[in-house]
Chain A
Amino acid sequence: MPTVSVKRELLFQALGRRYTDEEFDELCFQFGLELDEITSEKDIISKEQGGGKAEGASDIILYKIDVPANRYDLLCLEGLVRGLQVFKERIKAPRYKRIMPANGGVQRLIITEETAQVRPHAVAAVLRNITFSKDRYDSFIDLQEKLHQNICRKRALVAIGTHDLDTISGPFTYTARPPSEIRFKPLNQSKEYTASEIMDLYRTDSQLKHYLHIIENKPLYPVIYDSNGVVLSMPPIINGNHTKITLNTRNVFVECTATDITKAKIVLDILVTMFSEYCEKQFTVEAAEVTYHNGRTCIYPELAYRREKVKPDLINKKIGISEKPSSLAKLLTRMCLKSHVTGSGNNIEIEIPPTRADIIHACDIIEDAAIAYGYNNIQMTIPKTYTIANQFPLNKLTELLRQDLAAAGFTEALTFALCSQEDIADKLGVDISSTKAVHIANPKTAEFQVARTSLLPGLLKTIAANRKMPLPLKLFEISDIVIKDSTKDVGARNQRNLCAIYYNKNPGFEVIHGLLDRVMQLLAVPPSKASGYLIRAAEDSAFFPGRCAEIFAKGQSIGKLGVFHPDVITKFELTMPCSALEINIEPFL
């Protein structure tokens, strides 16, 4: 969930009234935001780097507000204020307009064929006669960063470039060239570098290093030039220094390059709708023309208003309220969804503004009506749905066995389903390739290399972590292991195993054997060769030779019991003899 940090004073100024922290927290809660933290730059620095470093930092109060991940229109002060003011009916939602420049000189961006392999899409727009202040400028930069981190998926899907239009002259060309042929002075650098040098330059940059991989291995890098060959940007890495925006910039050229055109359009719409507030003609955006290499031409930003019709009855029924159509329309209008009742009152027409790309279905509209109505004003009801409950048979058996294993004096452990290869192979004296283990592709540490194929390692590690406890230690676990199985759609399946372990100064094989007899008694399986259970001497590298037996029941092998091999005991950092039992309980269902 993205967090937006805004200055409290600035926020209250824009809202035209003051709130106590509690009042503002409550307002956020109703609107679906969360006032996560009240802090200041000074607080943040002293928390992160220690008190000494914070000296001189600003102690202006900041609100950190959590915004739902799909509400890109609330990612900056401008959008938050607009959303809240409309919600509280203090203003009407602005209407955003795309205008063509009066003199007909529309800015043009031409996309060449070479971009197809690396980053095929671009959209653009112009913010004309904008007035920045320090706070507005900071918010403008911040919003781009927030968009980059969220909808743009760390610039992989979309990258935004904003430029001082008065420093360049169109038409602009979006192309892709070999890195050695691209040469310019990157933003805030004092000299020119080639594209390859730029990649090296930013390899250690705490921010930019995360974006290099997006184009690094491509033969051609994307780049935007003006008509004089000035580099605007090398997306998605860095802008040129030449077109840098300052507090005095009056005209901003916005370009978004992308691998996902839908997202590029949304990002452009959000950025220009938010900041057109500061244009001379408020909430208007000057169009730009984008031409693909095949000649197709598009005008951006789209700033499209979409109309939907939803029946008031449906809204009421889905929420569980009974509001008049006119009051539902009013509720929706408070959510920036301008609505009115049409016809004989059996339909509501809703206009979805370009800022609300999150509204893709009637259910999104219904949710907004519910939010405006107030979730906590909705009458709670109990559904009349009549059903008979059933337990999952495997879990039912597990629950019953757990109770009786505890009654037999064993204590239940709860160990991880993921572990290292070493745990299930080397430490038990087997080769990993002979296990049917499922392997994880991207473990951050060795603890998450594989899913366990046995419950034994988890119990042995539990004992190792509790060596100071009085002996004997008697533990059990009934839980799932995972093994590859090509008959399953995903190629693997769980298996419910019962595992028990006895750790003392003597191996206690008879104790573990006795537990097996007790489990079989509980499962009503008699000791018999014909139809019951039996154990038969077996070899297993985990167990001491001659001290291991295989367990057969229901006509199949269900597991083993035995005294651990001294190597196993040592590898799990234990010092006492130890015996154990592990069986599959699924045949007893």
Chain B
Amino acid sequence: MLGAHAVLLECSHLWAGEHQAEVSPVCSPQVIEAEQRSSKRWELTPEGKEIVQEGSHEARVFDSIPAEGLPQSELMKLPSGKVGFSKAMSNKWVRLDKNADGGPRVFRAVESVQDSVREKLQLVQQGEAESLEEKDRNELKKRKLLMEVIIKTYWIRKGSAFSTTVTKQETDLTPEMLASGSWRDLKFKAYNFEALGIMPESGHLHPLLKVRTQFRQIFLEMGFTEMPTNNFIESSFWNFDALFQPQQHPARDQHDTFFLQDPAEATDFPMDYLKRVKKIHSQGGYGSQGYKYDWKLEEARKNILRTHTTAVSARMLYRLAQQKFTPAKYFSIDRVFRNETLDATHLAEFHQIEGVVADYGLTLGDLMGTLREFFTKLGISQLRFKPAYNPYTEPSMEVFSYHRGLQKWVEVGNSGIFRPEMLLPMGLPEGVSVIAWGLSLERPTMIKYGINNIRELVGHKVNLQMVYDGPLCRLDS
């Protein structure tokens, strides 16, 4: 039955489906070897076959028009009317007299016609499709008269384990085989190592929070203490005024910040400190000109959803200033809120990562060195610093890193040294500098995992498959 070579038509069902599907012993590679080949053939469609018998639609239209012509409306009722008429018109076989009595009328425009479509299809039917020009074939294919059929064939030959006797093979080891020792004499079916295993049932951590864990780890490795950022609601005072951000600053606009209706206002402030903040804004002091405007308590009282975790840093630094100064390193990673226009990379809430160091005599070089160590732990080694403006840091620098994929420098964070107008009213000693930097958690995560739409990562529209399939988060590899 199986000669040296045999052609098996339609054998493909043997290989259908996943590779996990059981392969019949006869077709397992050791018994026989199969090689897939495919060839193409042109065939007529049912409509094509009809044309070979009856003639093309346009020829049938031509034939149906008597010498005195035919009203167009009647012609259209014919089975080939619609298609045939427009083809016959474009072939200039017929003409249309729109002004004829009793409505538009169609007349023959030539004596006789040659039905080349039918002739070409006949060639195909005779298996001579190759003799047609390619453009003709394509034209007929476009008219759905021809179709290209791919025939898959398998060339089968004897395999290395070819045998004409069939021995039943065992699927797998059983406890009985082990007990009886029968496994020694049995033949076992081969495993298909091409197939995938069965995934274990498991729970999964969210990709963004896996990255958060890594950032937390980095800060802890660097000796930074975590700030209590579990207060989404903040007063404008701590979010803006304490940071020397003037009350007319655009960030304090309705368009950028979520204000609260209830509870609308904060009630309790450290009043001595608040007075010093008021003074630094409206009159200056501590060597500063101030902003020279009418600072209003009502503005400072307004409750908002915090726009940055730096509001918490301000609370922490104020607390630090109320005791005998000891150096401090703080960090936080938590949610912040902006009433901004939303797009594929911006949501109304995102996670801010922030690092703060307070000590005597810190320099801009110290800030850059700290940033270098921090970003090195993220696997980012090439850094560049650009002068920038932040209301509460001076000097300020944007941090850029070279992105090999994009082949350009991209901004990866913002940083600076907190202004004396922010620190001195808190009561921190004059020689103390506070360096700080911040970045978003979402952006590096999106870059890391190649996610373009932030909604697939954060929020309820998350793609759970993405969560299931996510790899470990190792930022430095």
Q: At the interface, yes or no: A480 with Cβ under 8 Å from chain B?
A: yes
Known A363-B417, A490-B231; judge A381-B219 contact (CB<8 A): no
Most A CB within 10 A of own CB, among B220, B357, B369? B369
Contact with A along B189-214 (1 / 0, CB 8 A): 00000000000011111101100010
Q: Hey, which chain A residues are within 8 Å of B220, CB to CB?
A: 389, 391
Stretch at the interface among B23-31, B48-56, B161-169, B394-402: B394-402
User: Which residue of A361, A387, A415 contacts B421 across the interface (Cβ within 8 Å)?
Assistant: A361
Q: At the interface, yes or no: A558 with Cβ under 8 Å from chain B?
A: no
Q: Whose C-beta in chain A lies nearest to the C-beta of B203?
A: A406
Complex CA gap A402/B347 in Å reads 24
Q: Hey, which chain B residues are within 8 Å of A464, CB to CB?
A: 460
Known A70-B389, A375-B385; judge A408-B460 contact (CB<8 A): no
Q: At the interface, yes or no: A231 with Cβ under 8 Å from chain B?
A: no
Q: At the interface, yes or no: B153 with Cβ under 8 Å from chain A?
A: no
B233 & A451 in contact (Cβ 8 Å cutoff) = yes
A442 & B259 in contact (Cβ 8 Å cutoff) = yes
Known A380-B372, A494-B230; judge A442-B224 contact (CB<8 A): no
Q: Whose C-beta in chain B lies nearest to the C-beta of A69?
A: B389
Complex CA gap A416/B351 in Å reads 11
Complex CA gap A360/B284 in Å reads 9
User: Which residue of A360, A413, A442, A462 contacts B258 across the interface (Cβ within 8 Å)?
Assistant: A442
Complex CA gap A362/B433 in Å reads 14
A319 & B209 in contact (Cβ 8 Å cutoff) = no
B387 & A465 in contact (Cβ 8 Å cutoff) = no
A29 & B386 in contact (Cβ 8 Å cutoff) = yes
User: Which residue of B250, B365, B460, B462 contacts A319 across the interface (Cβ within 8 Å)?
Assistant: B365
Q: Hey, which chain B residues are within 8 Å of A416, CB to CB?
A: 347-349, 458-460
Q: Whose C-beta in chain B lies nearest to the C-beta of A34?
A: B386
Complex CA gap A402/B305 in Å reads 26
User: Which residue of B222, B387, B465 contacts A31 across the interface (Cβ within 8 Å)?
Assistant: B387
User: Which residue of B232, B361, B467 contacts A317 across the interface (Cβ within 8 Å)?
Assistant: B361
Known A383-B357, A406-B205, A408-B203; judge A260-B248 contact (CB<8 A): yes
Q: At the interface, yes or no: B262 with Cβ under 8 Å from chain A?
A: yes
Complex CA gap A367/B468 in Å reads 48
The bracket for how many chain B residues form the interface is 35 or more
Q: At the interface, yes or no: A320 with Cβ under 8 Å from chain B?
A: yes
Q: At the interface, yes or no: B309 with Cβ under 8 Å from chain A?
A: no
Complex CA gap A389/B332 in Å reads 12
B233 & A389 in contact (Cβ 8 Å cutoff) = no
Complex CA gap A382/B359 in Å reads 12
Expressed in whole angstroms, the minimum distance between the Cβ of B206 and any Cβ of chain A is: 4
Contact with A along B440-477 (1 / 0, CB 8 A): 00000000000000000011111111011000000000
Q: At the interface, yes or no: A443 with Cβ under 8 Å from chain B?
A: yes
Complex CA gap A370/B231 in Å reads 36
Q: Hey, which chain B residues are within 8 Å of A277, CB to CB?
A: none
Complex CA gap A491/B372 in Å reads 40
How many residues on the A side are at the interface (Cβ–Cβ under 8 A)?
Answer: 97
B224 & A448 in contact (Cβ 8 Å cutoff) = no
Q: Hey, which chain A residues are within 8 Å of B462, CB to CB?
A: 413-414, 462, 465-466
Complex CA gap A411/B204 in Å reads 4
Q: At the interface, yes or no: B346 with Cβ under 8 Å from chain A?
A: no
Q: Hey, which chain A residues are within 8 Å of B228, CB to CB?
A: 392, 394
Q: Hey, which chain A residues are within 8 Å of B219, CB to CB?
A: 389
Q: Hey, which chain A residues are within 8 Å of B269, CB to CB?
A: 489
Q: Hey, which chain A residues are within 8 Å of B64, CB to CB?
A: none
B373 & A382 in contact (Cβ 8 Å cutoff) = yes
A382 & B266 in contact (Cβ 8 Å cutoff) = no
User: Which residue of A29, A361, A380, A444 contacts B368 across the interface (Cβ within 8 Å)?
Assistant: A380
Q: At the interface, yes or no: B303 with Cβ under 8 Å from chain A?
A: yes
Expressed in whole angstroms, the minimum distance between the Cβ of A499 and any Cβ of chain B is: 13
Contact with A along B274-287 (1 / 0, CB 8 A): 00000000001011
Complex CA gap A309/B76 in Å reads 97
B363 & A319 in contact (Cβ 8 Å cutoff) = yes
Q: At the interface, yes or no: B174 with Cβ under 8 Å from chain A?
A: no
Known A153-B250, A363-B394, A438-B260; judge A383-B287 contact (CB<8 A): no
Q: At the interface, yes or no: B47 with Cβ under 8 Å from chain A?
A: no
Most B CB within 10 A of own CB, among A395, A465, A490? A490
Interface members, chain A 185-213 (any B CB < 8 Å) = none
A484 & B365 in contact (Cβ 8 Å cutoff) = no
Q: Whose C-beta in chain B lies nearest to the C-beta of A363?
A: B394
Complex CA gap A253/B292 in Å reads 27
Known A389-B223, A402-B205; judge A367-B289 contact (CB<8 A): no
Known A34-B386, A409-B202, A444-B339; judge A378-B359 contact (CB<8 A): no
Contact with B along A468-488 (1 / 0, CB 8 A): 010001101000101010100
Q: Hey, which chain A residues are within 8 Å of B459, CB to CB?
A: 414-416
Q: At the interface, yes or no: A166 with Cβ under 8 Å from chain B?
A: no
Interface members, chain B 383-438 (any A CB < 8 Å) = 384-389, 394-397, 417, 419-421, 433, 435
User: Which residue of B206, B264, B303, B369 contacts A413 across the interface (Cβ within 8 Å)?
Assistant: B206
Complex CA gap A242/B228 in Å reads 61
A496 & B230 in contact (Cβ 8 Å cutoff) = yes
Expressed in whole angstroms, the minimum distance between the Cβ of B230 and any Cβ of chain A is: 4
Q: Hey, which chain A residues are within 8 Å of B364, CB to CB?
A: 318-320, 370, 375, 378
Complex CA gap A375/B129 in Å reads 74
User: Which residue of A70, A382, A409, A441 contacts B203 across the interface (Cβ within 8 Å)?
Assistant: A409
Contact with B along A341-383 (1 / 0, CB 8 A): 0000000000000000000111110110011000110111111
Known A32-B388, A320-B364, A367-B396; judge A448-B288 contact (CB<8 A): no
B384 & A376 in contact (Cβ 8 Å cutoff) = yes
Interface members, chain A 446-462 (any B CB < 8 Å) = 447-448, 451, 458-459, 461-462
Complex CA gap A440/B268 in Å reads 20
A367 & B363 in contact (Cβ 8 Å cutoff) = no
Q: At the interface, yes or no: B141 with Cβ under 8 Å from chain A?
A: no
Q: At the interface, yes or no: B310 with Cβ under 8 Å from chain A?
A: no
Q: Hey, which chain A residues are within 8 Å of B70, CB to CB?
A: none
Q: At the interface, yes or no: B335 with Cβ under 8 Å from chain A?
A: yes
Q: At the interface, yes or no: B38 with Cβ under 8 Å from chain A?
A: no
Expressed in whole angstroms, the minimum distance between the Cβ of B276 and any Cβ of chain A is: 15
Expressed in whole angstroms, the minimum distance between the Cβ of B419 and any Cβ of chain A is: 6
Q: Hey, which chain A residues are within 8 Å of B233, CB to CB?
A: 438, 451, 482, 490-493
Q: Hey, which chain A residues are within 8 Å of B292, CB to CB?
A: 262
B260 & A385 in contact (Cβ 8 Å cutoff) = no
Complex CA gap A70/B205 in Å reads 43
Expressed in whole angstroms, the minimum distance between the Cβ of A178 and any Cβ of chain B is: 27
Known A417-B335, A418-B337; judge A451-B305 contact (CB<8 A): yes
Complex CA gap A299/B202 in Å reads 77
Q: Hey, which chain B residues are within 8 Å of A364, CB to CB?
A: 394
Q: At the interface, yes or no: B291 with Cβ under 8 Å from chain A?
A: yes
Complex CA gap A23/B369 in Å reads 27
Complex CA gap A412/B473 in Å reads 15
A382 & B366 in contact (Cβ 8 Å cutoff) = yes
User: Which residue of B213, B361, B384, B387 contacts A367 across the interface (Cβ within 8 Å)?
Assistant: B387
Known A390-B225, A411-B203; judge A379-B365 contact (CB<8 A): yes
Q: List 21 A-B contacts (CB under 8 A).
A: A71-B389, A157-B248, A360-B289, A361-B286, A378-B365, A380-B372, A381-B365, A386-B223, A387-B327, A388-B225, A389-B222, A394-B230, A399-B213, A405-B203, A409-B202, A418-B305, A440-B261, A442-B339, A465-B460, A476-B203, A491-B233
Q: Using CB atoms and an 8 Å cutoff, list the residues of chain B in contact with chain A.
A: 201-206, 208-209, 213, 216, 219-220, 222-235, 248, 250, 254, 258-269, 284, 286-293, 303, 305, 327-329, 335, 337, 339, 347-349, 357, 359, 361-366, 368-370, 372-373, 384-389, 394-397, 417, 419-421, 433, 435, 458-465, 467-468
Nearest 8 CB-CB pairings of A with B: A320-B365, A32-B387, A320-B363, A491-B263, A68-B389, A461-B460, A367-B395, A406-B203
A387-B329, A441-B259, A491-B303 are known contacts; what are 15 more A-B pairs with Cβ within 8 Å? A153-B250, A317-B361, A319-B365, A363-B419, A366-B395, A375-B386, A380-B368, A389-B223, A390-B226, A391-B220, A411-B206, A451-B232, A465-B462, A491-B266, A496-B230
